[in-house]
Amino acid sequence: MSTTEETPVVEKAANFIRNIVTDDLKNGKHKSIVTRFPPEPNGYLHIGHAKSICLNFGLARDFGGRCHLRFDDTNPAKEDIEYEDSIKENVKWLGFDWGEHMYYASNYFEKFYQYALVLIEKGLAYVDSSSADEIRAMRGTLNEAGKESPYRSRSVAENLDLFARMRAGEFEDGTQVLRLKIDMASPNINLRDPVIYRIKKVDHHRTGDAWCIYPMYDYAHCISDAIEGITHSICTLEFEDHRPLYDWVLDQLPVPCHPQQIEFARLNLNYTVMSKRKLLELVQEKLVDGWDDPRMPTLVGIRRRGFTSESIRAFCETIGVGKSDSLIDMSILEDAVREDLNVRAPRAMSVLRPLKVVIEGYPEGQTEEFEAANHPNNPDMGSRMVPFSGTVYIERDDFQEEPVKGFFRMAPGKEVRLRYAYIVKCESVVKDEKGEIVEVRCSYDPASRGGSAPDGRKIKGTIHWVSADHAVDAEVRLYDRLFSTPNPGGKNEPDYRTSLNPKSIEVLKGCKLEPSLASATIEDRFQFERLGYFCLDMKDSRPEAPVFNRTATLRDSWSEQKR
């Protein structure tokens, strides 16, 4: 993103971070802003990361600055190039581009090391030979001060020697760490001599075996920000207590600048989990079909389900940026994609639970075509021709042998309109040996072509259909919320797995789709009339065997259930 010296007019909704940036530019603290999105490549991004991406890249875009993509690749034991590639793809999918400003914390390993030497030489860091359990015990609690390590008084010369030997690989994992020397009695536990380097004899996916010591996040992150000239280091609220450490490290070192850390409330979404650990467990325990399962809150899953990048950006704009954690209702996310797809998705007729309808009296072997609008409110989207024959499929729910009060669809002796086609009347039904209806036989009014009664009689019901001779057979997957309770793993539910929704997916085979859908592509989105919004599954769908995913229903069925 290009940088300009003048502050553009910002049209987005104001929030406290935008106010800070506006003031900083107005009073000359910065000529332009530089933000960053710093993911660790140890998993797939989820909807919570989308909020951070939209915030950081959006601020840079709206204020004429730039946003860096920086991989926090300081823990090689958990990182993989697969995650890195996915992160880059999803940032671009959301509509953002870092241009030439992609960086890696591993680019700065030597600088991190040299800065650590500065801290040792200033008597502000020391090598601790205590075990991890001993260090944990010495750290104290929120109500009890920590205890100083017996190695805290080592000389500068001894610490320099030990740290060099750590780098050279002389010690085993867990036997030595480098700690800052701050204040073991600080009420902020993060300032109680935090560990900034540990030994990990693991090859790094970018630096290979060049290093066997790796910096901790709190140390590497603030220095990376300073090296890159970040002006506003925006992170979530759990790092608020880490800010004094962020500032302390930068205050002790000859870094190029001192960025300002600003915290905002992370995105918490109900009916799902956002913890990387829990998401990994769902995948590893095969409770879902991988990271890209359309029920997952991962961006790869949401994208596979059919959500558009525009709807995700709109959702992030809707929920805003605040300082207090809150639980966002899943319906807000679903409404965002409904609103987007209602405008852009062409309509199509599809029958998910088919019931055969034979139209008696219709000329045998005859085929007609009816013009159908691609969008009822947008003539510019044009129309398509839908074939019609003497046998069609309708939704099984659109027929009742003994109709309840207020049912205006197909029933014995009643007329109903087949959308775009003819008015038909159920004359009889055919049942199998179990007594289940397998076929409906109807008469039709040849003069009602196009769906209008020539004598002006009113037809209350209109249903969709698909010609049996022209139907495209497909599998359709109906997705719902992954969990059946709003806060899985909450206070009254120690194991989040217990609230997995057994009805979170329903697979329907033998669905009948209108033939225009045979040419659908992965990028296309459709409204299946009266059924919801659907897209081709980007993983399992094949031209000879299409698979469609339901992105969202037409209405919020969960809220309706509550009413």
pLDDT tens sequence across 482-508: 999 999 988 777 799 999 999 999 999
Specify whether 250 is located in the same domain as 281. Answer: no
Rounded Cα gap, residues 321 and 17, in angstroms: 8
Rounded Cα gap, residues 502 and 140, in angstroms: 44
268-269 and 260-264 strand pairing:
unpaired
Domain CATH number, residue 84: 3.40.50.620
Domain CATH number, residue 417: 2.40.240.10
Asked if the structure places residue 8 within a domain, the reply is no
- Secondary structure of 47-71 as H, E, C letters: HHHHHHHHHHHHHHHHCCCEEEEEE
> Which of 188-197, 299-308, 492-501 comes out lowest in average pLDDT?
492-501
Among candidate residues 266, 296, 328, the one where a domain is terminated: 266
Does residue 9 register a pLDDT over 90? no
539 a catalytic residue: no
Among candidate residues 464, 498, 526, the one where a domain is terminated: 464
What's the average model confidence in pLDDT over 123-128? 98
Rounded Cα gap, residues 56 and 62, in angstroms: 10
Specify whether 256 is located in the same domain as 310. Answer: no
pLDDT score for 8? 37
Asked if the structure places residue 405 within a domain, the reply is yes
122 a catalytic residue: no
pLDDT score for 498? 93
Specify whether 127 is located in the same domain as 246. Answer: yes
Residues 308/525, Cβ–Cβ less than 8 Å: yes
pLDDT score for 399? 97
Does residue 4 register a pLDDT over 50? no
What digits encode the pLDDT tens for the residues 110-121?
Answer: 999 999 999 999
User: Of all residues in the chain, what percent carry a pLDDT higher than 90?
Assistant: 92
Asked if the structure places residue 542 within a domain, the reply is yes
Rounded Cα gap, residues 528 and 70, in angstroms: 41
**pTM of the predicted protein model:** 0.91
What's the average model confidence in pLDDT over 4-29? 75
**If pLDDT is split at 50, 70 and 90, which confidence band does 451 have?**
confident
What's the domain range around 431? 350-464
Specify whether 277 is located in the same domain as 247. Answer: no
Specify whether 55 is located in the same domain as 172. Answer: yes
Specify whether 111 is located in the same domain as 202. Answer: yes
Specify whether 47 is located in the same domain as 192. Answer: yes
Q: What are phi and psi of 476, to 5 degrees?
A: -125, 135
Specify whether 75 is located in the same domain as 147. Answer: yes
Catalytic residue among 31, 111, 167, 276: 276
pLDDT score for 492? 76
What's the average model confidence in pLDDT over 434-442? 96
Choose between 128 and 558: higher pLDDT.
Answer: 128
What digits encode the pLDDT tens for the residues 342-387?
Answer: 999 999 999 999 999 999 999 999 999 999 999 999 999 999 999 9
Quickly count: other Cβ atoms within 10 Å of residue 367's Cβ: 12
Among candidate residues 214, 231, 266, the one where a domain is terminated: 266
Quickly count: other Cβ atoms within 10 Å of residue 133's Cβ: 9
Does residue 397 register a pLDDT over 70? yes
Report the mean per-residue pLDDT for the chain: 94
Quickly count: other Cβ atoms within 10 Å of residue 73's Cβ: 27
Specify whether 424 is located in the same domain as 457. Answer: yes
Question: Which residues, other chains included, contact 357 with Cβ-Cβ below 8 Å and sequence gap of 6+?
Answer: 391, 392, 393, 394, 410, 424, 439, 440, 441, 442, 465
228 a catalytic residue: no
Number of domains in the chain: 3
pLDDT score for 561? 55
SS3 category, 103:
strand
Asked if the structure places residue 1 within a domain, the reply is no
pLDDT score for 288? 97
What digits encode the pLDDT tens for the residues 512-559?
Answer: 999 999 999 999 999 999 999 999 999 999 999 999 999 999 987 655
Catalytic residue among 18, 36, 40, 529: 40
- The encoded tokens of residue 160 equal 């320099």
Catalytic residue among 139, 266, 278, 425: 266
Closest CA to 473 of 378, 351, 366: 351
Closest CA to 195 of 145, 117, 126: 126
